[in-house]
A and B are shown apart, each in its own frame.
Chain A
Amino acid sequence: MDLIWDGIREAFRILGTGDYSIWEITLRSLFISGSAVAISLVIGIAVGSLLAFNEFPGRNLAFTLVNTGMGLPPVVVGLMVAIMLWRSGPLGQLDLIYTPLAMIIAQTVIATPIVTGFTAAALRSLSPRLRSQLYALGASRLQMLWLVLWEAKLPLLAAVMAGFGGAVSEIGASIMVGGNLAGETRVLTTAVVLEVSRGEFAPAIALSIVLLALIFAVNLILTTVQQQEQRS
């Protein structure tokens, strides 16, 4: 029991002093996962809209692929991205392996199917006549897309939450393509693994508290927005 209580007490001390570069690691986590989610929103909304609005042969297969992608094991993603970026790999000359950019790429691969799936589901839940009505009201294609996305913004917020949650808490890919280099590619999850492997539980607990708080904060903001929307 002492291990736990001492660990927690020490963790709060670390949070107060900022030892173990804890705030630097937190900011890096936010930056990398935030960037990945931003990129996957652009790709996911575009692909999700295409899937939701267009009839084409193989559409069901495409949906199956997206759904599979939503459950893609991060370790497998890490492996694929690592092979691509490895110095002797196809994109080796870009020299990206063990950089934050490599981690952003891997997390984007993880978050994109999630955002795509949520977007397609959100848009498909709207009345199919709504698009006709918007065109009939004189909307251009872009105006129509903007209005339906705005109309589906609540489920899209869920997509942001799920995407960010998936990216920030993922570890396998981050270790493989980032390498957990101190001051360069160390993020919250990889730092926790390192501290635990060294038997340093207090900083591991501190990092975990920050990680939880981060996910909680993001969800709190999004949930508040959702509820305000629903009330209006």
Chain B
Amino acid sequence: MSQAKLSLHDVWLKRRGSDILQVPHLDVFPGEVLAVIGPNGAGKTTLLMVLALLERPSEGEALFEGASVRGRELSLRRRMAVVFQEALLLRRSVLENVAMGLELRGVPRRQRRERALRWMERFGIAHLARRGPRNLSGGEAQRASLARAFALEPEVLLLDEPFGGLDQPTREALLEELAGVLAETGVTTVFVTHDRDEAARLGHRVAVLLGGRLRQVGPVADVFAAPVDEEVAAFVGVETMVPARAVGDAGGLARLEVAGQVIEAVVNGPLASDVLVCLRPEDVVLAPPDSIMTSSARNRLAGVVTRIVQAGAQARVTVDCGFPLVAVVTRQSLEELGLGVGDRVAASFKASAVHLIPRSQRSGER
């Protein structure tokens, strides 16, 4: 891979004696969108502040294009842009706010006006140019903040939960626009969020931060499909996790005993004898118990519905197959299946949908 645009080496940040952030190594490559995900309080913002050269780590260092940033923070900050969760606009017109970074860089008035207006148009707020920041809606303010960042035409863009304070429709619309602009500009981006859907939508790679530690970094699909441990699995949306024992391995297809039943899983690599079987709810298909299997799913387990939680157009169904198995179905198919708590059902999933975590690697195991 090419040289990293921005990287962290052995970064360790302590505050009042406790560790806030510990990152042995992290690279942000040119042109990629790296999504940093983790729950609240995981240290995501701190990580972003270190990357933005706004916070100096207690130990370790940040590198910009392979060279230490020390002593040239200001000039490097002027090659980056940051958007925080709050829009943080100053008490001056929206246009002046959007042009602020350019003003600080000494860009001539006409030029900065032109560039600011162009980006305001791109984000649909050109008509607000003369307004003060106090009579903007949350969405408009955040659009101004995004325009202010893009007007700098930065080499690196750092976004800290930019949609955190917005209502759902506004968030959706802005997410869509941002995705378009990121693809168009190809700017190297770090995008911090606690929302894995946002991460999956914008990110090329994803970094999972839990308890101040970087736990896994990789292409979005890989991390979501193959989390390294139980905690990462839980955070990236794996809802079924059960211990299993390997009983056979034939040509990349493992046979595993789970709660008295045997399932098959695709493995690429050596198979540990004790593993954790991970399944994402969207990979599980539910059907009537006596139906004929039509899909290519190799695993089919009979069970009883123990819980149904409906949210929006989807329903989360927990099936007891000797172990709790969670499936997501659309509301419509829930109605078609006529499922209720206590009903018998068949749950099937592909061997390739099963992800195995060797149990010796389980974090938190004592």
Least Cβ–Cβ distance between B334 and chain A, in angstroms: 44
Count, chain B residues at interface, CB 8 A: 22
Return chain A residues, CB-CB under 8 Å to B81: 136-137
Partner of A138, one of B49, B77, B86, B88: B77
Bound-state Cα–Cα, A143 to B80, Å: 17
Question: Does B84 lie within 8 Å of A132, measured CB to CB?
Answer: yes
Q: Which A residues, 115 to 174, have Cβ-Cβ distances below 8 Å to chain B?
A: 127, 129-130, 132-133, 135-140, 143, 147, 150-151
Per DSSP, chain A at the interface is helix
CB-CB under 8 A for A137 and B54, given A132-B84, A232-B132: no
Quote the shortest CB–CB distance from A22 to chain B (angstroms).
Answer: 42
CA gap between A147 and B89 in the complex, in Å: 11
CB contact under 8 A between A137 and B91, given known A132-B49, A132-B54: no
**B8 on the A face (CB < 8 A):** no
| 11 A–B contacts, CB within 8 A, in A order | A129-B86, A129-B88, A132-B49, A135-B54, A136-B77, A137-B82, A138-B101, A138-B104, A140-B74, A140-B104, A232-B132
Q: Is the CB–CB distance between B132 and A133 below 8 Å?
A: no
CA distance A137 to B101 in the complex (A): 5
A136 touches B132 (CB 8 A): no
Q: Is B148 an interface residue (CB 8 A)?
A: yes
Q: Does B181 interact with chain A (Cβ within 8 Å)?
A: no
Q: Is B253 an interface residue (CB 8 A)?
A: no
Alpha-carbon separation in the docked complex, A151 to B96 (Å): 13
**Residues of A contacting B49 with CB < 8 Å?**
132
The 9 A-B pairs at the shortest CB distance, nearest first, are namely A136-B82, A137-B101, A138-B78, A133-B88, A138-B104, A132-B54, A139-B104, A130-B88, A138-B101
Distance in angstroms between the alpha carbons of A150 and B105 in the assembled complex? 18
Contact across chains for A151 and B91 when beta carbons are under 8 A apart: yes
A17 CB to closest chain B CB, in angstroms? 47
A229 to B90, CA, bound (A): 13
Q: Let me know if B54 and A136 touch, CB within 8 A.
A: yes
Docked pose: A232 CA to B82 CA in angstroms: 27
- How far does the Cβ of B236 sit from chain A's closest Cβ, in whole Å? 28
Q: Would you call A137 and B148 a contact (CB within 8 A)?
A: yes
Which residues in A have their C-beta under 8 angstroms from that of B88?
Answer: 127, 129-130, 133
Q: For the complex, give the distance between the alpha carbons of A211 and B351 in Å.
A: 90
Q: Are B104 and A137 in contact (CB under 8 A)?
A: yes
Task: Give the residues in chain A near B105, CB-CB below 8 Å.
Answer: 138
**Shortest Cβ distance from A59 into chain B, in angstroms?**
14
B54: A residues at CB distance < 8 A = 132, 135-136
The chain B residue with its CB closest to the CB of A132 is: B54
Taking a contact as CB atoms under 8 Å apart, the answer to whether B104 and A133 are in contact is no
Verify B80–A136 contact, CB threshold 8 A. yes
Cβ contacts under 8 Å, A143 to chain B: 104
B60-82 residues with Cβ-Cβ distance < 8 A to A are 74, 77-78, 80-82
Do A138 and B82 touch (CB < 8 A)? Answer: no
Cβ of B34 < 8 Å from any Cβ of A? no
What is the 8 Å Cβ interface bit string for chain A, positions 215-232, against chain B (1 contact, 0 not)? 000000000000001001
A147 engages B77 (CB within 8 Å): no
* Interface assignment of B52: CB less than 8 Å from any CB of chain A: yes
Contact present for B52 and A138 (CB under 8 Å): no
Nearest residue in B to A231 (C-beta to C-beta)? Answer: B132
* A130–B80 alpha-carbon span in the complex (Å): 17
Closest-by-CB residue of B relative to A229 is B91
B146 within 8 A of partner (CB): no
Q: Other CB < 8 Å A-B pairs besides A130-B88, A140-B74, A151-B91, 9 of them?
A: A127-B88, A129-B86, A132-B82, A133-B84, A133-B88, A137-B101, A137-B152, A138-B105, A232-B132
Q: Give the distance in Å from the alpha carbon of A91 to the alpha carbon of B191 in the complex.
A: 61
A132 to B56, CA, bound (A): 13
